[in-house]
Amino acid sequence: MSEVSRRAFVAGVGAMAMGGSVGAAQEGGRPNVLWIVSEDNNPFLGCYGNRLVRTPNLDGLAREGFLYERCFSQAPVCAPSRFTLITGVYATSCGPAHHMRAAGKIPGWMRGFGAYLREAGYYCTNNAKTDYNGPIKMKDAWDESSKNAHWRNRPKGRPFFAVFNHEVTHESCLFPQNRGKYRAVKEPVDPAKVELPKYHPDTAEFRRDWADYLDQMSRLDEQVGKLLKQLEEDGLAEDTIVFYYGDNGGILPRSKRFCYDSGLRVPLIVRFGKKCEQLAPGAKGGRVEGPVSFVDFAPTVLSLAGVEVPKYMEGHAFLGKGAEMQRYAFGFRGRMDERYDMVRTVRDKGYRYVRNYLPHLIYGQHVQYMFNMRSMKAWEKLNQAGKLVGAQRIFWGEKPAEELYDLERDPSEVENLAGRVEYGEKLEEMRRANEEQILRTRDNGFVPEGSELEGYESARDDRAYPLKRIMEVANVATEREAGNVQRLVGWMGDENECVRYWAVMGCVMLRAKAGGAKAGLIGRLADESGAVRVAAAEGLCWIGEVEKGLSALSALLVKAKNPWTRLQAANAMQELGAMARPALSAIEQAQSDPTDYVKRAIGYTAAVLKGEAVKEAE
């Protein structure tokens, strides 16, 4: 069939569940499960309608299985999303796992879901990414996790769960220094035929990067074909359920790291072997509307294997016993390498809602790794020269507090409908869905990084983390209304660190309009929280108290014991721009900081202040 509706999907699963064990289980076994993962790619495949790429193996997999039209990673970057994949829990529930390259604070009983499969008799292997953004016990989750891990190493007769990660599509493939690593494809994509999204300027750099990226899809397809051939050679294809998916969107500018379909939508194809096909949601070749997301993957595999899904998991199986499709897919953006941000997003079949909790920060913050790309540098240079038009300029400006997009009409997500009266009902629906998700999962995003309040268990203590009250302050802060200053000042004296932090951040967002908060901001320079002190110092600079603010900020930048406080200070210096020039001595001293992210952040600020950043972008 050409499409699997939600109703037919659920009905099919229900029939399977009532019939008991089916497929491979009828012959005394359990289905093997193979995950084939590619890094950093949207569904740019022939089976998803891309006419420029050559992906015969993946197209064949889709014909033999099911193609998911709307599958989403939880974060637009790998490590936070991989935390969700391995645990079945949102990274935002286990701060600071929602930040890039962090260590989520999880309770001792939370396990990588492979552990439950192993206890049920499965042989579990991972080849070979393990940056789970949390202290997952490798020996508990995997029989083997290495470049040599393979189902072929399992004891005879054991069912397997195997993961293979392919890096050929990773962001770094477009860095100039890596272009010689890949052999030519038979039919390279012609840059002139590439269709650019509305937000990308039409330049040679963008067309070349797009074409090269699409060529990587063909190289990936070859690798997938070899792995599928091994499965056939071993006589295991009929006993195996194959998942192919991308680990996050990307990689062209404004895709990876950003909460749009370009950063979150990934391909997902699931093929059921002949002996497992009754576990499928319908006839092969189907297209499932979704949405589904990574938080659902662990419960789904456990369900297909006949293993009970732990109650703490926050996802829902979309295949197997008890399967159910969800109305929304939720996503988030936290710290991306050295740059802080806080974005939450909700996606249904047709619309995307984006909530920006730090709207004063521009979309295109300078992330050193991201700016290795030729097209990224070209885009920045065009912006600096004032040569961008229309939607191409949005990336270099501050963000609205809310965004709403109709994906059918606006696949580039550049026409924000949040302020239109006719979309008010839809906006309210998705705003409510976002707030309910935050409360349900005890979202740690409102906790400044480095605080003792971060973590799964800490965030579930409402006395320590009064989330509803904190959200109220954050919502007022992001209104950026001068009339809210006295309310914000009142909250600055609260006993809770997060309330104080968002009250002060509200003044940072107001910038020069927060003059009435001067006394309150000065008082917060002695706050026990380093994050609050950083925000207060920055806020003072914006209202004209530059000497006082920079003095405090410089001390925090070079002397704070908490590396995240130093990073927050480095980011504040970057935001202040030329105003930070009197602190150049402290900025230069911080360039020898032992924390790489601090060095990256403050190094760029130093380059800007010295007039060297333009050279870096050449």
Average pLDDT on 187-212 reads: 96
Mean of pLDDT over the chain:
93
CA distances to 63, 412, 428 from 406, rounded to whole Å, are: 29, 10, 15
Report pLDDT for 181: 85
Report pLDDT for 613: 76
Where are any strands of DSSP class E within 91-248?
Answer: 123-127, 144-145, 160-166, 240-246
CATH 1.20.1070 is held by the domain 545-618: no
- Tell me the residue type at 574: Q
- Kindly indicate the confidence band of residue 148, based on its pLDDT and cuts at 50, 70 and 90: very high
The CATH number of 6-327, from 3.30.300.30, 3.30.70.260, 2.40.100.20, 3.40.720.10, is 3.40.720.10
List, by residue number, the catalytic residues: 78
110 three-class SS: coil
pLDDT tens, residue by residue, 221-262: 999 999 999 999 999 999 999 999 999 998 999 999 999 999
Residue 398: phi and psi, rounded to 5, are: -70, 165
Q: What is the C-alpha separation between 253 and 23, in angstroms, rounded?
A: 44
Report pLDDT for 19: 29
In DSSP notation, 524-579 reads HTT-S-HHHHHHHHHHHHHTT-HHHHHHHHHHHHHH-SSHHHHHHHHHHHHHHGGG
CA distances to 22, 122, 276, 433, 610 from 19, rounded to whole Å, are: 7, 23, 14, 35, 71
Name the percent of the chain lying above pLDDT 70: 94
Residue 240: phi and psi, rounded to 5, are: -125, 140
Report pLDDT for 600: 97
Helices (H) and strands (E) in the chain, counts: 20, 15
Closest of 373, 265, 282 to residue 45, by C-alpha: 265
Helix (H) or strand (E) holding 292: strand 292-293
- Name the DSSP class of 503: H
Report pLDDT for 27: 35
pTM for this prediction: 0.93
**Contact indicator for 32, 151 with CB cutoff of 8 Å:** yes
The pLDDT of residue 21 is above 70 = no
Whether the bond into 291 is cis, omega within 30 of 0: yes
Helix (H) or strand (E) holding 378: helix 374-384
Domain parsing of the chain, residue ranges: 6-327, 545-618
pLDDT tens, residue by residue, 395-453: 999 999 999 999 999 999 999 999 999 999 999 999 999 999 999 999 999 999 999 99
* Count of beta carbons in the 10 Å neighbourhood of residue 283: 12
- Kindly indicate the confidence band of residue 322, based on its pLDDT and cuts at 50, 70 and 90: confident
